[in-house]
């Protein structure tokens, strides 16, 4: 039930932003539509709705956005240099990294963050074994543990505080 | 001042979009091309949208720019991940000068 209410609030918020500036008609339609969506799909949204009450998680999420933005900027400079470099300094390969995150949404965020940061692209996630297969544009090490340290750890620490 | 700042953002965005498209042509195989296509084009498009938001402010179109920015950041890496996985499953080889391929070792 709580999961449905959270989904209703989020859906209504997005609706209000989409139909900005909102008037009476828009709000009424928004309530009906997000109510229907929340009624039918609300149980799929989250399994642990009590996590939404923790304030520290939002603060960590904000910190994560800052870290992520900076890494994303560095990634772009890096790839842009590789694109215009006349000799194309590529050293690509697919390596294996481990992760200890178990939660679906945390794994999704981790994989997406890895894709948007320097020279790495997540190819597959093996949830049962806790492995990530990452395409790396400049392979610095083939060893699983060292690669985990370089690629995964800086996000994993923050994401564990947010979602686990 | 706000106009100038937004023009700077839009300029940076256009530059990165151009580099992303160049990378799409220059890089050797599917996976490297996806790297260029995802990173540069995501950041470039987000920068353009943010610049547009700065010009328009909190109007109807400006808010939609912000929403589009959020959705691009969420969907673009997911799409490239799906493409990379699908092409690996379909048997697309890595570039011949690639260093290692742990994924095909593990799936056999």
Is ipTM > 0.85 here?
no
Chain A residues near residue B26 by CB distance under 8 angstroms: 83, 88
**pLDDT confidence band for B108 (50 / 70 / 90):** very low
CA distance B99 to chain A (A): 5
What is the pLDDT averaged over residues A52-72? 85
Nearest CB to A121: which of B16, B38, B104?
B38
Same domain for A126 and A59, yes or no, is yes
Same domain for A44 and A75, yes or no, is no
Comparing A141 with B34, the larger pLDDT belongs to B34
Range with lowest mean pLDDT among A18-22, B9-13, B69-73: A18-22
A92 vs B64: CB contact, 8 Å cut-off? no
Q: What is the pLDDT of residue A136?
A: 83
Chain B residues near residue A17 by CB distance under 8 angstroms: 63-64, 66-67
pLDDT at A119 over 80: no
Listed in sequence order, the DSSP H helices in chain A are: 2-18, 24-41, 55-84, 104-116, 144-147, 153-163
Domain that holds residue A98: 54-163
Same domain for A63 and A142, yes or no, is yes
pLDDT at A62 over 80: yes
Same domain for A151 and A111, yes or no, is yes
Q: What is the pLDDT of residue B6?
A: 92
Same domain for A12 and A75, yes or no, is no
CA distance B3 to chain A (A): 23
A93 vs B97: CB contact, 8 Å cut-off? no
Q: What is the pLDDT of residue B107?
A: 57
Query: What are the tens digits of pLDDT across the range A121-141?
Result: 888 888 777 788 888 887 777
Q: Compute CA B69 distance to the chain's CA centroid, rounded to the nearest angstrom.
A: 12
Q: Report how many domains make up chain A.
A: 2
Chain B residues near residue A137 by CB distance under 8 angstroms: 32, 35
Mean pLDDT estimate for chain A: 83
The C-alpha atoms of residue A19 and residue A110 are separated, in whole angstroms, by: 32
Supply the angle between the helices A104-116 and A153-163 in degrees, to the nearest 10: 150
Q: Does A150 touch chain B (CB under 8 A)?
A: no
* Helix (H), strand (E) at residue A122: strand A120-126
Percent with pLDDT over 90 in chain A: 5
Q: What is the pLDDT of residue A36?
A: 92
What is the pLDDT averaged over residues B50-73? 89
What is the pLDDT averaged over residues A54-66? 86
Chain B residues near residue A95 by CB distance under 8 angstroms: 100, 102
The C-alpha atoms of residue A108 and residue A26 are separated, in whole angstroms, by: 33
Same domain for A105 and A121, yes or no, is yes
Mean pLDDT estimate for chain B: 85
Mutate which of B36, B56, B92, B99 to disrupt the A interface (most A C-beta within 10 Å)? B99
Q: Are B34 and B18 in contact (CB under 8 A)?
A: no
**pLDDT confidence band for B8 (50 / 70 / 90):** very high
Pairing relation of β-strands A120-126 and A93-98? unpaired
- Token match 């481990």: residue? A98
Q: Are B105 and A144 in contact (CB under 8 A)?
A: no
Count of CB pairs separated by less than 8 Å, A with B:
131
């Amino acid at each position: 039930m709580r999961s449905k209410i959270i989904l209703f609030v989020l859906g209504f918020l997005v609706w209000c932003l989409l139909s900005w500036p909102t008037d009476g008609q828009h709000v009424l339609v928004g309530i009906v539509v997000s109510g229907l969506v929340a009624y039918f799909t609300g149980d799929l949204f989250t399994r642990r709705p009590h996590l939404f009450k923790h304030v520290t998680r939002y603060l960590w999420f904000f910190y994560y956005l800052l870290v992520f933005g900076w890494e994303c900027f560095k990634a772009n400079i890096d790839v842009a240099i590789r694109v215009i470099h006349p000799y194309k300094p590529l050293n690509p390969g697919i390596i294996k990294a481990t992760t200890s995150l178990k939660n679906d949404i945390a794994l999704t965020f981790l994989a997406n963050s890895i894709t948007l940061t320097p020279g790495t692209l997540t190819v597959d996630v093996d949830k049962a074994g806790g492995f990530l297969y990452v395409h790396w544009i400049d392979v610095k090490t083939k060893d699983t543990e060292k690669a985990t340290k370089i690629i995964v750890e800086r996000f994993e620490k923050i994401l564990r505080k947010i979602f686990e | 001042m706000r106009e100038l700042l937004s023009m700077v953002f839009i300029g940076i965005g256009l530059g990165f979009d151009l580099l992303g498209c160049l990378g799409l042509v220059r890089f050797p195989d599917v996976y490297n091309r996806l790297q260029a296509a995802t990173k540069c084009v995501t950041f470039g498009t987000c920068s353009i949208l943010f610049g547009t938001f700065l010009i328009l402010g909190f109007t109807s179109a400006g808010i939609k720019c912000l929403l589009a920015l959020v959705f691009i950041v969420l969907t673009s890496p997911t799409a490239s991940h799906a493409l990379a996985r699908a092409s690996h499953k379909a048997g697309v080889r890595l570039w011949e000068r690639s260093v290692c391929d742990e994924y095909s070792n593990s799936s056999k």
